Amino acid sequence: MRFRAPGVLLAAALLASLATMAEGAPTPVIAGPPEVIATAGRTSTAATRHRRRTRRRLPPPGGVYARNAILLDPTTGEVLFEKNSSRSVPIASLTKLMTAMVFLEQKPDLTREVEVTQTELSGAGHTQLRRGEHVPLGELLHMSLMCSDNVATRVIARESGLPGSDFIARMNRKAVELGLTGSRFTEFTGLDEHNVSTASDVARLLHAAANEPLIQQITTTRSYEFRTARRWHAINNTNRLLYSRYEIMGGKTGFILEAGYCFATWVRTDGRDLIAVVLGAPTNATRFADAVRLLQKAQAPPVTQSQP
Q: Which domains does the chain have, with CATH numbers?
A: 68-299 (3.40.710.10)
Residue 19: half-sphere exposure toward Cβ, Cα within 13 Å: 7
Q: Label residue 173 by pLDDT band (50, 70, 90).
A: very high
pLDDT value, residue 56:
55
When mean pLDDT is compared across 44-58, 142-156, 277-291, the lowest value belongs to 44-58
Rg of the chain on CA atoms, in Å: 28
CB burial of residue 4 (10 Å; 0-12, 13-18, 19+): exposed
Cβ contact 93:124 at 8 Å: no
Cα four-point dihedral sign 173, 150, 64, 219: positive
Question: For residue 125, is it left (φ>0), alpha (ψ between -120 and 50) or beta?
Answer: left
Q: How many Å apart are CA 240 and CA 265, to the nearest integer? A: 10
The string of pLDDT tens digits covering residues 194-246 is 999 999 999 999 999 999 999 999 999 999 999 999 899 999 999 999 999 99
Q: How many Å apart are CA 197 and CA 195, to the nearest integer? A: 7
Q: Which of 1-5, 29-33, 34-38, 54-58 has the highest mean pLDDT?
A: 54-58
pLDDT value, residue 52:
55
Cβ contact 212:101 at 8 Å: yes
pLDDT value, residue 60:
73
pLDDT value, residue 271:
87
Q: Label residue 102 by pLDDT band (50, 70, 90).
A: very high
Q: Across the chain, how many H-helices and E-strands are there?
A: 10, 11
Hey, which residues are catalytic here?
A: 93, 96, 148
Q: Is the pLDDT of residue 53 over 60?
A: no
Q: How many Å apart are CA 165 and CA 171, to the nearest integer? A: 10
pLDDT value, residue 22:
36
Residue 247 bridge partners (DSSP)? 268
Q: Label residue 10 by pLDDT band (50, 70, 90).
A: very low
Q: Is the pLDDT of residue 127 over 90?
A: yes
The string of pLDDT tens digits covering residues 128-152 is 999 999 999 999 999 999 999 999 9
pLDDT value, residue 300:
63
